[in-house]
Each structure stands twice: as structure tokens, then as C-alpha cells.
């Protein structure tokens, strides 16, 4: 089993989860975070840290959120590891609670520096 970051994180990226994770298994894109399922130790610590309740155990996901299991696996192999202290998105309050954010998820590799 693993924990999975889901749709409410898109365009919010509060980053409180990163500080809480004992094994640093979050990976960071421009406007979303994911968990590497092979590194997550299922400790549950990050779940209550997320202000928008974006993190769930894979077995508890609703059918419409189950695609995020594969999204977390795939993007965690493309994106760089997130490390604390991290900077949350400035527009996070504006996007908090907005439905149907899946369409905004950008799944490309990070831009060259």
C-alpha cells in the first residue's frame, strides 16, 4: 500500500506534507506534488498536515480519484525530490476547494534551469 496525492493539491501545493514525511518521499512539479509509492512507508503522518485533504491511502480512494495512483507513480519518477523548507504556491488560497482541477495538471518533465 501507499499514500497518494490527489486533485485538491493541484494549483495549491501548500507543502506542509513535505516537512512531515520521515522518509522524504514527496516529489515536486510546478503546481502539484506526488508520493513515490516505493518509498512511502505508510506512516500516515502527512494526511492531517495537508490543509486541503489531498492525501489518501490508495485503498481508500474514490473511483474518480483512482487514476492518481498511477499519476503519483509516474510523476515521482520524472520530478525532483521535494525537500523542506519548501515554498508553497502564492495563489494557493485562491485555488483551495475549487472542483475539477485535474484538467490543469501539467505532467511534463521539469524545465531546464
Residues that bind ligand SF4 (CB under 6 A): 3, 20-21, 23, 25, 35, 40-46
Tell whether omega for the bond before 85 is within 30 degrees of 0, i.e. cis.
Answer: yes
Binding of ligand F3S by 15 (CB under 6 A): yes
Residue 44 or 94 having the CB closest to ligand SF4: 44
Residue 5 or 89 having the CB closest to ligand SF4: 5
Binding of ligand F3S by 17 (CB under 6 A): yes
**Least Å from the CB of residue 104 to ligand F3S:** 14
Contact yes or no for 54/9 (Cβ under 8 A): yes
100: left (phi over 0), alpha (psi -120 to 50) or beta: left
Looking up cell 516505493 gives 38
Cα radius of gyration rounded to whole Å, the chain: 13
Q: Which of 4, 21, 25, 33 binds ligand F3S (CB under 6 A)?
A: 33
97: left (phi over 0), alpha (psi -120 to 50) or beta: left
Piece of 37-45, 52-60, 67-75, 101-109 that binds ligand F3S (CB under 6 A): 52-60
Amino acid at each position: 500500500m501507499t499514500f497518494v496525492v490527489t486533485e485538491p493539491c493541484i494549483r495549491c501545493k501548500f507543502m506542509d506534507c513535505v516537512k512531515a514525511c520521515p522518509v522524504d518521499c514527496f516529489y515536486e512539479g510546478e503546481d502539484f506534488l506526488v508520493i513515490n509509492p516505493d518509498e512511502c512507508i505508510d506512516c500516515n503522518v502527512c494526511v492531517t498536515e495537508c490543509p486541503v485533504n489531498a492525501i489518501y491511502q490508495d485503498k481508500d480512494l474514490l473511483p474518480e480519484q483512482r487514476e492518481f495512483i498511477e499519476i503519483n507513480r509516474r510523476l515521482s519518477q520524472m520530478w525532483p525530490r521535494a525537500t523542506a523548507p519548501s515554498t508553497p504556491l502564492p495563489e494557493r488560497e485562491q485555488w483551495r476547494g475549487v472542483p475539477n482541477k485535474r484538467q490543469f495538471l501539467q505532467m511534463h518533465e521539469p524545465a531546464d534551469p
